[in-house]
Structure 1
Amino acid sequence: MSSSFPPLRDELRGIEPYGAPQLSHEAAPVQLNVNENPYGPSPAAAADIARAVGEAAVSLNRYPDREFVELRGALTAYLNTSGGSGITPDMVWAANGSNEVMLQLLQAFGGPGRVALSFAPTYSMYPEYARDTLTEWVAGHRADDFSLDLDAARELVLERRPSVVLLPSPNNPTGTALPPEAVTMLCEAAASYEPGGIVVVDEAYGEFRRAGTPSALELLGEHRNLVVTRTMSKAFALAGARLGYLAADPAICDAIRVVRLPYHLSAVTQATALAALRHAEELLGRVDDLRVERDATVVWLREQGHEVADSDANFVLFGRFADRHAVWQGLVDRGVLIRETGPDGWLRVSIGTADEMAAFRAALIDTMETHDLTKEPA
């Protein structure tokens, strides 16, 4: 047997799989590291989901609707009340989490000889989508406040001529939202060369945006190369169901059909998502509570002397620490798990319940005082 077994692609050798650190609830009772919604479905919503899955179970010997027509209609109705207007079912596509949606976009529009582009710091899976589809990855840079320098961003797009531009809004891990003019400028830039590129605005955390922060859904009618992605994992408290979706020109949805796997959305997934959408008002009812808790967390962290990025998401990036790992470990030792991610010196905390955030505040104060962990000068 060859010493290089298994015959993995050379560029994948030695790479660790993606994933946030996982600890048991016994080791870390307060888990604020993966941006989950801490408020699960109500008993009524859970019962409706269970009933819908039960109904689907009696026909699991048959393949599901590969076009998921009913689900696309329900997602369309939701999007038209969540920042969009004039969206039709042929403009909607869904897959197993927004991760699979992104991968399908790179499979369809990336590939050898093509470029995917974003601006760091940003979601750490983006370069992995590019790698897995043999697409060249190019990362520009954000300003010190994590906003985009629009002129520099436009110049980079015109220079590298990407097939896919990935723009999370709010950005992960910073929480920074994009202004509409940024989306417009980059859509126009990506449409100015042949064969052009698509601009993907990743709104995984879009429902958490602050009042007055618009959704890119409003711009779909103006830019044929714009794609807006969403997920049911966050605001809908449905991370365990794995349902992501997008809205775009029908031609983009048709192109994705070429690369999608057969019957990629199971009957169980479709039934679960449809039931959750029937309870949208209820499931989204705690979003306002999380926004309030997020804003209070930003204020409190700044009062403690930390540097904090403005956030339109359900998490907060804060720092800067001379030894961020020591701070992270100090919190874990006190039963609080957050995420060691983003630029050097920064940490990210997901927004949990009021009790969980109180535990985080107490643990952070104790960690800083006990270990004399100095903050790094800005």
Structure 2
Amino acid sequence: MSFPPIREELRGIEPYGAPQLSLEQAPVQLNVNENPYGPSAAAAADIATAVARAAMTLNRYPDREFTELREGLAAYLNSSGGSGITPEMVWAANGSNEVMLQILQAFGGPGRTALSFAPTYSMYPEYARDAMTDWVVGHRAEDFSLDLDAARDLVHRTRPSVVLLPSPNNPTGTALPPEAVSMLCDAAGDGIVVVDEAYGEFRRSGTPSALELLPRHRNLVVSRTMSKAFALAGARLGYLATDPAICDAIRVVRLPYHLSAVTQATALAALRHAPELLGRVDDLRGERDRTVAWLREQGLEVADSDANFVLFGRFAHRHAVWQGLLGHGVLIRETGPDGWLRVSVGTAEEMTAFKSALTIVMNTEPMRDNT
């Protein structure tokens, strides 16, 4: 055995992470789907005051059930696509990453299977690996939608204990229709179906939230985050709504006092300012839709997006395009199927810089895949 004695399946693996460059290296950073508009001065001041109050209690452990925060999150979800959601139906952790890992720890494990449909969020197989859960991946159609019959058949064949469904999907931005979610909840039997709505607030008008389906499916989990629409990526707060029995099961695997007093205070202050923090969502939706239209005018393929990012292609040499954009100070993400790139939606000025750089890069040499 070589040192250190890491699990063999982890040996040699690089840790997950998108490229992080300084603003000097890349003045326009559009690669990790952040909200480009930070908290308002009023929200920041309220957060600072709340954290200062929490700081006076740091000699004591925080409320391990984060009761007040669960009440606030339930109230917010009931105004954002849900109804009848109670605090007992809400769970939260340090980012939706920890929420997902806790789900796999509680419902996955040796001899159990987690399932998703590619292209999908690249961290899902890592959650499964870390929880020693078998990973099965189906595939989406050419337009990144789900073939419902094929998806149902795969669920019936593999009998997963957890099905992971990002909607809007990352990296494609496409949303799942309610009938797809209901079908998979029925097909999964007693398995857990997680609809990851990290980008749910950015969905287009008329696109429903899976929160509406909670009364019909006891095995449905709908997760959200405060990192995106709430512009609190640095605060690390993810949460979910589901049947109280599922929340109780997750409580078994959570670490003691996993949400610090500072995190709870920050999130509660943000919820008090939800209207203003979410006030730029419409602006970002509009910028996204203009970006989709512009990319299509350039003759590129673009996935329909209900998120705050856009997947576009196809390029014969996508890394060369990515590198060319970086040479002009614009950092986007090289992810998704071969030939595709993903750009986060930034401010109007940032998107102008992206368009100008992409125009130059595409005219430098033949980059587009015309097959």
Contact 2:30 2:332 in 1 (8 A): yes
Q: Secondary structure of the equivalent of 1:285?
A: coil
The letter for the 1-side match of 2:208 is: P
Alignment correspondent of 1:374? 367
Residue in 2 that maps onto 1:153: 151
Instruction: Give the whole-Å Cα distance in 2 for the aligned partners of 1:228 and 1:373.
Output: 43
Residue by residue over 1:211-250, the C-alpha shift from the partner in whole angstroms, topping out at 9 and shown as x without a partner, is 0000000000000000000000000000000000000000
Aligned match of 1:359: 353
In the TM superposition, what whole-angstrom CA distance separates every residue of 1:81-129 from its partner, at most 9, and x where no partner exists? 0000000000000000000000000000000000000000000000000
Which residue in the other structure is 1:257 paired with? 251
Distance in 2 of aligned mates of 1:342 and 1:36: 18
Residue in 2 that maps onto 1:341: 335
Give 1:147's aligned amino acid: S
2:40 corresponds in structure 1 to: 42
2-structure distance, mates of 1:338, 1:373: 20
- In the other structure, the counterpart of 1:266 is 260
Cα shift at 1:373? 3.0
The Cα shift of 1:369 comes to 1.2
1:28-39 mapped onto 2 (5 Å cutoff) = 28-39=26-37
- Distance in 1 between the 2:7 and 2:63 partners? 35
Within a 5 Å distance, the mapping from 1:166-205 to structure 2 comes to: 166-191=164-189, 196-205=190-199
Aligned counterparts of 2:67 and 2:304: Cα–Cα separation in 1: 39
Aligned equivalents of 1:9, 1:55: Cα separation in 2: 43
Give secondary structure in 1 for the equivalent of 2:25.
coil
Other-structure match for 2:279: 285
Instruction: Give matches, 1:209-228, under 5 Å.
Output: 209-228=203-222
Match of 1:326 in 2: 320
TM-score, normalising length: structure 2: 0.99
Residue of structure 2 aligned with 1:233, choices 220, 223, 227 = 227
Q: Distance in 1 between matches of 2:215 and 2:310?
A: 32
Q: What amino acid sits opposite 1:355 in the alignment? A: E
For 1:58 and 1:374, the matched residues in 2 are separated by 58
1:368 to partner: Cα distance: 1.1
Alignment of 1:89-168 (within 5 A): 89-168=87-166
Contact 1:154 / 1:185 at 8 angstroms: preserved in 2? yes
Give the unaligned 5+ runs of structure 1: none
How many aligned positions are there? 371
Instruction: Answer whether contact 2:321 2:367 (CA < 8 A) is retained.
Output: no
Answer yes or no: is the 8 Å Cα contact 1:97–1:243 preserved in 2.
yes
Normalized against structure 1, the TM-score is what?
Answer: 0.98
Which letter does structure 1 place at the counterpart of 2:22?
S
Q: Does 1:13 find its partner at 2:6?
A: no
Task: Find 1:301's aligned residue among 287, 292, 295.
Answer: 295
Distance 2:360 2:21 in 1: 21
Cα deviation per residue 1:55-74 (whole Å; 9 max; x = unaligned)? 00001000000000000000
Q: For the residues of structure 2 that align with 1:367 and 1:356, how far apart are their CA atoms?
A: 16
1:56 touches 1:267 (CA, 8 Å); kept in 2? Answer: yes
Q: Does the CA-based 8 Å contact 2:318-2:367 persist in structure 1?
A: no
Q: Which residue of 1 aligns with 2:21?
A: 23
Q: Which runs of 5+ in 2 are unaligned?
A: none
Q: RMSD of aligned C-alpha atoms?
A: 0.6
